[in-house]
Amino acid sequence: MSLAPGAVIGIIGGGQLGRMSAMAAARLGYRVHIFCPEADAPAAQVAAACTVAPYSDHAALARFAGAVDVVTFEFENIPTESLALLASRRPVRPSPEILAISQDRLREKRFLNDCGIATAPWRAVEDADGLARAVAELGLPAVLKTTRLGYDGKGQAMLRDPGDAGIAFAALAPRPLVLEGLVDFAAEISVMVARGADGAVVAYDAVENRHKHHILDLTLAPAPLPVELLSEAGAMARHIAEKLELVGLLGVEMFVTEIDTLLVNEIAPRPHNSGHWTLDACPVSQFEMQIRAVAGLPLPPATRHADAVMKNLVGPEDMALWPRILATPGLIAHHYGKDEARVGRKMGHFTRLFPRGALPGAFGIEDALRLR
């Protein structure tokens, strides 16, 4: 199946990822129909149509399926039954099976380890006794996480000494949980990979991600790390896409350990915040690549014509800087159309480009981010 211009791409989820996908789809001549529970969502503002209904509303989902040619998503926490309903009526890309793996940290880790890919050491935790056993086996510090519904560090607790276990266990739901050994990482990196309906796989260069309060703050493209390590990261992401028989786009988050080994942290079968730099530094962005894969179009190479730094704009503090961002030469500004700048809410981002190979070091980056 390859969609002709004028076809309708259905996107589940109405956030900024859907907004930027919808803009990429429009450029290729497609119409986008958003399905999300909120009125006036960032994606709906730039889409041809929007259904506002809960993700569990089967009648609304059935009408939506009838109005679109293919379904994709920008949001992972879609109920299984809702996806099954959509998949019974229209192609869903990436497949519901892939989403089910990425929705559940335990399935995700089992899948990755079964593919021969290393993760942080982990144990499933069903109850308090299970947590005590997991702590004894993995040692501390460790991170206790919910298996479902986590994002931006929510649904996680750090265990530093055995006394932390009881409180953390009581605070986290739903169960089961997963305990992960704390990785003393040198850097966090990610790779965006796409696979087309014809099986062709393309991967963008690996980038470094720096977080603030568990929310992505900066992405450096390419990651300032040895090239062998970056090509290994790319090969791992391709391998995962192939094993999943992905049709669509996938973000692969990894830790680089102190001894330069790679551990996969999590996968996300959708555009990813750490791929926003591709909008400005690549001829074909992650959003266009996703739309091409979902629409059955050929995938062009994921080439990069510039180095880039992407800075997220989060909450009221960063949005107060918006006029200065607009007034600073060289910053490429992106606003997500959200009116309420709540604490921790991603409101926009900006990118600064550098000639290929000229990404500056730490001081240079600080300088490049300075506003007028």
Ligand X SMILES: Nc1ncnc2c1ncn2[C@@H]1O[C@H](COP(=O)(O)OP(=O)(O)O)[C@@H](O)[C@H]1O
Q: Contact residues for ligand X (CB under 6 A)?
A: 120, 143, 150-153, 180, 182-183, 188, 211, 214, 253, 265-266
Closer Cβ to ligand X, 274 or 285, answer by number:
274
CB of residue 118 to ligand X, shortest distance in Å? 12
Closer Cβ to ligand X, 92 or 267, answer by number:
267
Closer Cβ to ligand X, 30 or 111, answer by number:
111
CB of residue 18 to ligand X, shortest distance in Å? 18
CB of residue 179 to ligand X, shortest distance in Å? 9
CB of residue 122 to ligand X, shortest distance in Å? 8
CB of residue 98 to ligand X, shortest distance in Å? 16
Closer Cβ to ligand X, 189 or 194, answer by number:
189
Closer Cβ to ligand X, 7 or 179, answer by number:
179
Closer Cβ to ligand X, 182 or 297, answer by number:
182
CB of residue 172 to ligand X, shortest distance in Å? 13
CA distance 200 to 349: 30
* Residue 140 token pair: 């501390």
